[in-house]
Amino acid sequence: MQLLDGKKTAEDIKVEIAAEVQKMKAKGEKVPHLAAIIVGNDGASLTYVGSKVKACERVGFESTLVKMPSTTSETELLRKIKELNEDDNIDGFIVQLPLPDQIDEQKVLMAIDPSKDVDGFHPENFGKMALDMSTFIPATPFGILELLERYNVDTAGKHTVVIGRSHIVGRPMSILMGRKGFPGNSTVTLTHSHTKNITQITSQADIIITALGVPNYLKAEMVKDDVVVIDVGITRVADENNPKGYVITGDVDFENVSKKASFITPVPGGVGPMTIAMLMKNTLLAREQKMA
């Protein structure tokens, strides 16, 4: 079994990006600038956004964190987005999800200028991705592709089973794994909460990507020998023995599934760090496209 080490790979990518930033600086060019909007005080979201800001410092980007109260109206958020769209100093920005109930997520994602949409969530960018056009690929799927590529995991002609159809991970992943090229050329099955006999499907899979947020869902009995397992789950599970009061737990019963797998991502230290690294990559691309 080989561990797909997202922590190390993400660090390699950040070193590469930092080198690009140094070149920009040496030429007297403006460095990439990422902004993030967060609405409300959700602990996990604040942690994720904090990691994104820290990653910006690490690679030499400028960053701006816009914190808005949980009572923010849709109009106020849309006004802020317009401001960032029009701010030439900002190359790309994200609106951290989920949003409070009074705000329509789709309206918000539609309001982001597609050329600054480094999350790749705008329908224009999502459509381009599905049509193999050059665009921002959502950071988590992009990170998974990068891991598969850097570890040279064979995906052509393989049966890839994606569990979960979220707009952020499952749905785009199912599209990307079936695209032409590497990593891709897979035969893809997208499974979800209405799927019947899921074990029958997962036990035929060469590659399984779990993105459902149910701790330890995928068991050893559900997979065949030499399976490749990508675990996108990051659920906080209460644990009084941990100083934080919780442990981050994946969708995969790692202890037992890893005994059968050829490649597997750990949680933490797998897909999570890759997501952040690829957001940096998209921000670099946004800056470069602006200069093109």
Residues in contact with ligand GUN by CB under 6 A are 94-97, 119, 139-140, 168
Contact, 284 vs 147, CB < 8 A?
no
**Which two three-digit tokens encode residue 269?**
């230290």
Instruction: Work out whether the CA dihedral 145, 149, 151, 152 comes out positive or negative.
Output: positive
Give percent helix, percent strand, percent coil of the chain, each to the nearest 5: 40, 15, 40
CB of 279 to ligand GUN, least distance (A): 7
Nearer residue to ligand GUN within complex by CB, 68 or 168: 168
Q: How many CB atoms lie within 10 A of CB 214?
A: 14
Q: Is 58 assigned to a binding site?
A: no
State which residue has the least CB distance to ligand GUN: 97
Active site residues: 52, 96, 119
In this structure, what DSSP letter does residue 32 have? P
Nearer residue to ligand GUN within complex by CB, 189 or 282: 282
**Which two three-digit tokens encode residue 268?**
């933490």
Q: Is 207 assigned to a binding site?
A: no
Q: Is 270 assigned to a binding site?
A: no
Task: Measure CA of the first residue to CA of the last residue in the chain; give whole Å.
Answer: 43
Q: Is 115 assigned to a binding site?
A: no
CB of 19 to ligand GUN, least distance (A): 25
Q: Is residue 137 packed enough to be buried (19+ CB in 10 Å), middle (13-18) or exposed (0-12)?
A: buried
Nearer residue to ligand GUN within complex by CB, 21 or 112: 112
Of 197, 205, 198, 252, the residue nearest 224 (C-alpha): 205
CB of 48 to ligand GUN, least distance (A): 7
**Which two three-digit tokens encode residue 246?**
């919780």
Nearer residue to ligand GUN within complex by CB, 9 or 96: 96
- Give the alpha-carbon dihedral of 80, 86, 87, 92, to 10 degrees: 80
Nearer residue to ligand GUN within complex by CB, 122 or 287: 122
CA–CA separation, 25 vs 31, rounded Å?
7
CB of 118 to ligand GUN, least distance (A): 9
CB of 161 to ligand GUN, least distance (A): 22
Binding site: which residues? 164-166, 234
Binding site for NADP(+): which residues? 164-166, 234
